[in-house]
Structure 1
Amino acid sequence: MSPSLVRGRRVLPVAAVLALLTAAALTTSVPSASGERALATSTPTGPMELPAEWMTAQRLSDGSTNLSAAKYARARGEANQLAAHTRNVYRHLAEQEWNFFGPSNIGGRVVDIAVDPQVPDQVFIAAASGGVWRSGDAGATFEPAWPDTWQQSMGAVAMTTDGVLFAGTGEAQPGGGSITFGGDGIYRSRDRGKTWQHVGLADSHAIARFAIDPSDQDRIFAAAAGNLFVPGGERGVYLSDDGGDSWRQVLAPPNPTTGATEVLIDPSNPARVYAAMWDHLREPHQRTYGGPGSSLWRSDDGGQSWQRLTNDLPTDADQGRWGIALAPSDPDRLYAYVGTALGPFRAFYRSDDGGDSWTQTPVNANQASQSTFSWWFGKLWVDPANAEHVFLAGVNLRRSTDGGQSFGNVGGVHADQHVMRWDPKVPGRAYLGNDGGFYRSESNGVSNWVKSTYEPYTQFYTVDVAQTDPALKVGGAQDNGCNRGYNGPGGPWNAIGCGDGLQVIIHPENPNIVFGCSQYGSCYRSETAGGSPRQSIGAGQTTSDRRNWLTPLQFDPSDPDVMYYAGNIVNRSTDNGRTWTAISPDLTGGGPNDPSGYPWGTITTIAAAPTDGDKLYVGTDDGKLWWTDNLGQSWNEVDPGQLPGTWVTRVAVHPKDANIAYATFSAFRSGSDRPHVMVTRDGGRTWTDIGRGLPDAPVNSVVPTSDGLLLVGTDVGVFVSAWNGGGWAALGADLPEAAVMYLRYHEPTRQLTAATFGRGIYDLTVPRCPAASTKLPLRDPGVGVVGALASCRAG
């Protein structure tokens, strides 16, 4: 074939390809410390519209309009059935153990805290996608208080004075670059988290807060935020009069897209209850995070009737998320603040008469520290002993000593605050939860915040292991940067830069050479294992118009000095990432219709063949697959009719045959025959679905082994097949039920490493399956699979 660009049967000459490359504009991607900040910097495209999120966008790439808890419940049910089948038929696969590698000292998003009123130093926390955790040493270390085998998304925890613990599933603050998963209602534990019972509101999707009547511990209010994607369902404020056995709605939202995000009780008058409502909806290509339903409410009869608080407060539609708090030492003192529908801070208010009237304080956007995403916070806290001492959730923790007239910064903690609680048993002790984990202050929250030393609930996007030693690992974490774990299993990890941590990789021959990437392809090269000095890689050094949130950066397995980086154009380096040359045109559908929206039209994955340095495969967010046999002199697009059209999450090439490659896809089948895993056996020309039998859930990663196994990581677990993919089994039985975002296989030791979004990094030794290597992948799907997997043995 002469040098050309082949798309189906259309041919573009090399001159046209070079013209496309020459015309490619360079863009600058500004890294930030949080996914929410990065996405919110775009200019709105219309009233109350903002760009789509990365993790959400790929899961909606099948054209769906929502990520319902029901979809995940069905997928988990299918995963459980496959696990049961594996235990019965492939015992040695089921018996493999997943071992937690780390990190335990990085942490992750903590959204709520419950202080045990009876047991000294005992607290419970809700980790965003990591379940409920218990600490018996005032938050220095944590242990699980939630089943690993249940969905891990959490929104709220609370405890009665007699020790009954409640957990509300589903996270109520929607993500930016990350994702917030929905839940299936409220759970109750009568033994402090040892066992749990589901007690209601299965269609609430997200529980944002509990409030327990101090005069009657059986009276419990729950703020139900509702499904982020679908109007209706169980929303608003609910009340249980029987300790959680039953729930009834006491405050209905004013419209189907509004839910409750806060509920609190006047401790001196439990008949007085306050609530905050938030009008918000996430659609495939925009988010509307404010509207006429956003409002504050009060009940003076224990929740039987409610009135909307409007005196001196805004009543227009440009209201985003509200935050409200009362002063326990002076319950008539209330504080509230609200963002705009687009996200920036709008105004701060104070009431001295229980909400009858309000005064706007001089607090401005800079003092509020809400950036452009006030919907990520919506929380206020008042010192129990001092009504003038107020804390405000924001990017920074903000503190006022003059009753909300002004705010200053409280340093020493991670960004993005979500919850603060005081321990009534220990004067001056305060606890804080944010995107970086759990903190304790013994100085009333003013200073001296101490971070937990053991909190293994980090949300990872990626992981890599050193080829020279699989005990050396790096990974990229949501809002917790790039991290290095070179101290073995259980050892401390070190932060090595980045805002959000995305792709992080280790040189195959020299673990001191590490590459780390923030969002949108702002990467670096380091020869000090991620430390300084760092050489920048990104917009100024590579060619692309658009870059994905997780911009792929990969080594060529046939030559460690050769690397690939791609936005919408593939870039190649032959000097280990120091300099780059573009080797492709735009391999996407041409970019977003809305230039200020999510940057659709980006490359999401690159794979070079281990046995042929000229052979590359590329996948995109708009569902395209490409290959080249001549190192980019010509590019061939796979016929779109063969493919599902959904987001391509990963491509991997057979370790022994460059013409065999595997591609995985996000989104759901939702009753269709849309594939999640496909194989080509002819170098990319034709592709076959080999994912039948897997749970209907996004597949995020794929790894073929040299001895005949195929491993995939999904939103609901890790699964294994023989190369031809004709049958699947669950791999291991004790991996926590968090989305598996990335797999890395170390061939010499058979170690498989999984990066989970909410429970950190896990390792497993892949069993040997002698029959798998004898079943060539060129056979028809299904041939010999049962025999292959049945031959698996440990060691």
Structure 2
Amino acid sequence: MNLTLIRSRRGLATASLALLAAVALAASSAPQPSQRSLATKTPTGPMELPDEWMTAQRMSDGSTELSAARYAAARGEANRLAAHTRTVYRPLAERDWSFFGPANIGGRVVDIAVDPQVPDQVFIAAASGGVWKSSDAGARFEPAWPDDWSQAMGSVAMTSEGVLFAGTGEAQPGGGSITFGGDGVYRSTDRGATWQQVGLAGSHAIGRLAIDPRNEDRIFAAATGNLFVPGGERGVYLSDNGGDSWRRVLAPPNGTTGATEVVIDPSNPDRVYAAMWDHLREPNQRTYGGPGSSLWRSDDGGGTWQRMTNGLPTDADQGRWGLAVAPDNPQRLYAYVGTALGPFRAFYRSDDGGDTWTQTPVTAGQASQSTFSWWFGKLFVDPDDQNTVFLTGVNLMRSTNGAQSFSAVGGVHADQHVLRWDPKVPNRVYLGNDGGFYRSETDGASGWVKSTHEPYTQFYTVDVAETDPVLKVGGAQDNGCNRGYNGVGGPWNAIGCGDGLQVIIHPQNPSIVFGCSQYGSCYRSENSGGTPRQSIGAGQTTSQRRNWQTPLQFDPSDPNVMYYAGNIVNRSTDNGRTWTAISPDLTGGGPNDPVGYPWGTITAIAAAPTDGDTLYVGTDDGKLWWTHDLGRSWNEVDPAQLPGTWVTRVAVHPSDADIAYATFSGFRSGSDRPHVMMTRDGGRTWTDIGRGLPDAPVNSVVPTSDGLLLVGTDVGVFMSGWNGGEWAALGAGLPQAAVMYLRYHEPSRQLTAATFGRGVHDITVPRCPAASTKLPLKDTGVGVVGALSSCGAA
């Protein structure tokens, strides 16, 4: 329909995204996965925090859960497609992806295991980047986890004999972690060279592993459970045979509670402590606290358990607990808890092994946990001093007076997750946070040194310079905008931003760089991203709402023309200096809770390389629009043609403005809902061309000038001909982290992939002469087979 004639608003109640629109609407129209009534829970409001961006996309079909099983099935499909490629299209399979970088930025580290036998050797769990090993006290890390397995990690632990255990799936429900759950516990008897799955495949996330120092065949696992679906494997589990089998020894009090912490008394291993957390993520709200949140103790090695309550709160307004035992005096315990809404609530101390507890005078400001105490959930006590305790928060907080007060320890990245002391080196402590890995030789009081080689950065986007594809920029989760102008393996430089989102390079001048933080707070720099910077965003552009990853793009037909979109498309004709709105609101609108997620935003925009008047636009509420007169009239694609889920990317054919592609997030869940669609008539009609791809979100699409179509998904990169049909895996050696963004450099045929957890990778795209033939859609299944068979020819 033409917007100049009809401004139809497809109501969110009839769209598949309705479940994410508003609490009231969803509660009345969507089945709730919890058996508890919503009236008994403490809702925290719709889409409150920025880390909901990835979840919102993948649940935009109205589904109520994101399970590890879905990803396992999608990875299985990807592996079968890769095997088919190796058989039928060997030149495609034999190409290798190469790691470009960065190695000096890092990413979220959620757990650390210190090798008790090998000096200076440590193992870490990267949130969505697998397990890594360092043999030089954390200066450099190398992979210790298969690239082709799920990269989502939650915990690591090692026996005194060097047997390494890894718990998959992250217990911190934020960022990419909640979309990439794990599939249980793994064991390695050769320090990470090989691994064996040993159980708890339905646990979704493992918050902590604890090994009995008296009998190391006894291993406890804190199974956090599926964030989206009640029940399943959750609670505290015990293996008596080194991980070969597991039995639950502490069941949660309800189906939405799981264990996040298990701690063994080093002087009396029969005494074991556990922290339980009642939490559930639903499409319309999160419940991150409740009656199940609690602390427990066992005095018979996990056989029986008692809830600790003497001096501790017993009401339902309890969020995630942190718990620690002082190694030099195990009668000294520390604990803290947040509220169900997220802010810090209180800090407690026990001097009698948990029989009684006293609240200490720690304030929310000292706790440094902002509004999301559930993101941290850990405490650590100096093994030589029961009065020195570290509290994880936005800042690293340290007390030297038994938790009577805390002060910040500087010199490290924000958002702390784990500390470990090296028993072989006095005063040495290791730290993992959202910025990577650090080491201190002063018991953590000061002198933190960051790792120099930690290639597990979580990227949202990447761009390369048209003038030289070795020059790259990208936006990283909690690690800002970054510039990689120092070649393969060279250091990357920070160039501003909070969370780094869209970052792009001027097509003709790589000194002009645009960088964006969350929600469209962007800048323009003529110093390769350095200062001075001109602001772009709320004060310069017109929009009522802006997406977490606000699209900012050049017009490929004119490098001085740019597009920026919130819920309204803005255009600049002077290279981003000034902006003019050229569209009405192209979304279904709100809800617009000021503390909620800004639903109803444009998520993708693309201009035709051959026609500067033609634009295609996609939204988070499943709409597609097109204009052939530079926005004087906008035409909405008939919603009946579309899947109705989040539009992740749109792209226009290099030589035909009437041919365009759109990709979609969410899972098909057995339906016919597509992930990749194509128009051949300028946007009027769209056809599914993604059949044969794994059933996983597609995050990016690139058509090449010689007839290929490249897509990046949560489970790899795949290629086909322009018209889809037969799909093949592209290359080998790309880690199984989600591919969030693809950037193709036509002159060199370099394809660059931004992964969420394993950095930036490159591959050379093969030439496929037969693929350039424009095949009728009804013939794509046969024609594309021949096209891909020609790939690699001269």
Alignment TM-score, normalising by the size of structure 1: 0.94
Contact 1:60-1:284 at 8 Å conserved across structures: yes
Tell me, yes or no, if structure 1 residue 51 matches structure 2 residue 47.
yes
Contact 1:102-1:762 at 8 Å conserved across structures: yes
Q: For the residues of structure 2 that align with 1:132 and 1:557, how far apart are their CA atoms?
A: 40
How far off its partner does 1:781 sit?
Answer: 3.3
SS at match of 1:413: coil
How far off its partner does 1:794 sit?
Answer: 6.5
What pairs with 1:406-555 in structure 2 (closer than 5 Å)? 406-555=405-554
Partner of 1:63: 62
Q: For the residues of structure 1 that align with 2:651 and 2:366, how far apart are their CA atoms?
A: 48
Partner of 2:663: 664
Partner of 2:369: 370
Contact 1:163-1:190 at 8 Å conserved across structures: yes
How far off its partner does 1:726 sit?
Answer: 1.2
Q: For the residues of structure 1 that align with 2:298 and 2:8, how far apart are their CA atoms?
A: 65
Contact 1:766-1:794 at 8 Å conserved across structures: no
Contact 2:462-2:754 at 8 Å conserved across structures: yes
SS at match of 1:728: strand
Contact 1:129-1:180 at 8 Å conserved across structures: no
Amino acid at match of 1:656: S
Q: Given the superposition, is the C-alpha separation of residues 375 and 794 from structure 1 closer, same or farther in structure 2, using an over 3 Å criterion?
A: farther
Partner of 1:129: 128
Partner of 1:264: 263
Amino acid at match of 1:89: V
SS at match of 2:781: coil
Amino acid at match of 2:182: G
1:373-393 C-alpha deviation (Å, 9 max, x unpaired): 000001000000000111010
Contact 2:592-2:598 at 8 Å conserved across structures: no
Q: For the residues of structure 2 that align with 1:613 and 1:412, how far apart are their CA atoms?
A: 49
Partner of 1:297: 296
Amino acid at match of 1:4: T
Q: For the residues of structure 2 that align with 1:400 and 1:184, how far apart are their CA atoms?
A: 37
SS at match of 1:205: coil
1:681-734 C-alpha deviation (Å, 9 max, x unpaired): 000000000000000000000000000000000000000000110110000121
How far off its partner does 1:51 sit?
Answer: 1.7
How far off its partner does 1:326 sit?
Answer: 0.8
Partner of 2:30: none
Q: For the residues of structure 2 that align with 1:661 and 1:584, how far apart are their CA atoms?
A: 20
Partner of 2:250: 251
Partner of 2:643: 644
Q: For the residues of structure 1 that align with 2:747 and 2:192, how far apart are their CA atoms?
A: 41
What pairs with 1:6-21 in structure 2 (closer than 5 Å)? none
How far off its partner does 1:48 sit?
Answer: 3.4
Amino acid at match of 1:571: N
Partner of 1:755: 754
How far off its partner does 1:4 sit?
Answer: 2.4
Q: For the residues of structure 2 that align with 1:64 and 1:432, how far apart are their CA atoms?
A: 37
How far off its partner does 1:545 sit?
Answer: 0.7
What pairs with 1:281-360 in structure 2 (closer than 5 Å)? 281-360=280-359
Q: For the residues of structure 2 that align with 1:178 and 1:421, how far apart are their CA atoms?
A: 22
Q: For the residues of structure 2 that align with 1:116 and 1:624, how far apart are their CA atoms?
A: 52
- Higher deviation after alignment, 697-706 or 727-736: 727-736
SS at match of 1:784: helix
How far off its partner does 1:594 sit?
Answer: 4.7
Q: For the residues of structure 1 that align with 2:782 and 2:566, how far apart are their CA atoms?
A: 39
1:194-241 C-alpha deviation (Å, 9 max, x unpaired): 111110001000001011111111111010000000000000000111
Partner of 1:237: 236
Q: Given the superposition, is the C-alpha separation of residues 604 and 164 from structure 1 closer, same or farther in structure 2, using an over 3 Å criterion?
A: same
Contact 1:323-1:379 at 8 Å conserved across structures: yes
Count of residue pairs brought into register by the alignment: 761
How far off its partner does 1:176 sit?
Answer: 5.0
Partner of 2:4: 4
What pairs with 1:687-698 in structure 2 (closer than 5 Å)? 687-698=686-697
Q: For the residues of structure 2 that align with 1:278 and 1:68, how far apart are their CA atoms?
A: 19
Q: For the residues of structure 2 that align with 1:280 and 1:736, how far apart are their CA atoms?
A: 31
Q: Given the superposition, is the C-alpha separation of residues 700 and 777 from structure 1 closer, same or farther in structure 2, using an over 3 Å criterion?
A: farther
What pairs with 1:761-776 in structure 2 (closer than 5 Å)? 761-776=760-775
Amino acid at match of 1:585: P
Partner of 1:575: 574
Tell me, yes or no, if structure 1 residue 149 matches structure 2 residue 145.
no
Partner of 1:558: 557
Tell me, yes or no, if structure 1 residue 586 matches structure 2 residue 565.
no
What pairs with 1:82-93 in structure 2 (closer than 5 Å)? 82-93=81-92
Q: Given the superposition, is the C-alpha separation of residues 46 and 158 from structure 1 closer, same or farther in structure 2, using an over 3 Å criterion?
A: closer
Shift >3 Å, 4+ stretches: 5-10, 45-50, 176-180, 593-596, 775-781
How far off its partner does 1:628 sit?
Answer: 0.4
1:523-579 C-alpha deviation (Å, 9 max, x unpaired): 011110110011110001101011000000000000000000010000000011111
How far off its partner does 1:599 sit?
Answer: 1.3
Partner of 1:715: 714
Contact 2:170-2:177 at 8 Å conserved across structures: no
Q: For the residues of structure 2 that align with 1:690 and 1:7, how far apart are their CA atoms?
A: 29
Q: For the residues of structure 1 that align with 2:723 and 2:264, how far apart are their CA atoms?
A: 60
Contact 2:261-2:323 at 8 Å conserved across structures: yes
SS at match of 1:631: coil
Partner of 2:14: none
Q: For the residues of structure 2 that align with 1:8 and 1:173, how far apart are their CA atoms?
A: 41
1:88-113 C-alpha deviation (Å, 9 max, x unpaired): 00000111110000000000000000
Q: Given the superposition, is the C-alpha separation of residues 273 and 9 from structure 1 closer, same or farther in structure 2, using an over 3 Å criterion?
A: closer
Amino acid at match of 1:231: P
Amino acid at match of 1:492: P
Contact 1:463-1:504 at 8 Å conserved across structures: yes
Q: For the residues of structure 2 that align with 1:63 and 1:444, how far apart are their CA atoms?
A: 49
1:383-406 C-alpha deviation (Å, 9 max, x unpaired): 000001110100000000100000
SS at match of 2:74: helix
Q: For the residues of structure 1 that align with 2:315 and 2:46, how far apart are their CA atoms?
A: 20
How far off its partner does 1:779 sit?
Answer: 6.6
SS at match of 1:782: helix
Q: For the residues of structure 1 that align with 2:548 and 2:425, how far apart are their CA atoms?
A: 44
- Higher deviation after alignment, 258-267 or 591-600: 591-600
Partner of 2:213: 214
SS at match of 1:187: strand
Amino acid at match of 2:200: L
Partner of 1:23: none
Q: Given the superposition, is the C-alpha separation of residues 9 and 457 from structure 1 closer, same or farther in structure 2, using an over 3 Å criterion?
A: closer
Cα RMSD, aligned residues only: 1.5
SS at match of 1:4: coil
How far off its partner does 1:783 sit?
Answer: 4.5
Q: For the residues of structure 2 that align with 1:184 and 1:625, how far apart are their CA atoms?
A: 36
Q: For the residues of structure 2 that align with 1:46 and 1:236, how far apart are their CA atoms?
A: 22
Q: For the residues of structure 2 that align with 1:9 and 1:403, how far apart are their CA atoms?
A: 59
Partner of 2:610: 611
1:122-154 C-alpha deviation (Å, 9 max, x unpaired): 000000000000000000000110000100000
Q: For the residues of structure 1 that align with 2:334 and 2:9, how far apart are their CA atoms?
A: 65
Contact 2:2-2:636 at 8 Å conserved across structures: no
Partner of 1:25: none
Q: For the residues of structure 1 that align with 2:187 and 2:589, how far apart are their CA atoms?
A: 50
SS at match of 1:726: strand
Partner of 2:199: 200
Contact 2:71-2:180 at 8 Å conserved across structures: no
Contact 1:775-1:784 at 8 Å conserved across structures: no
Q: For the residues of structure 2 that align with 1:2 and 1:443, how far apart are their CA atoms?
A: 68
Contact 1:512-1:527 at 8 Å conserved across structures: yes
SS at match of 1:487: coil
1:64-88 C-alpha deviation (Å, 9 max, x unpaired): 1011000001100100110010000
Q: For the residues of structure 2 that align with 1:589 and 1:782, how far apart are their CA atoms?
A: 36
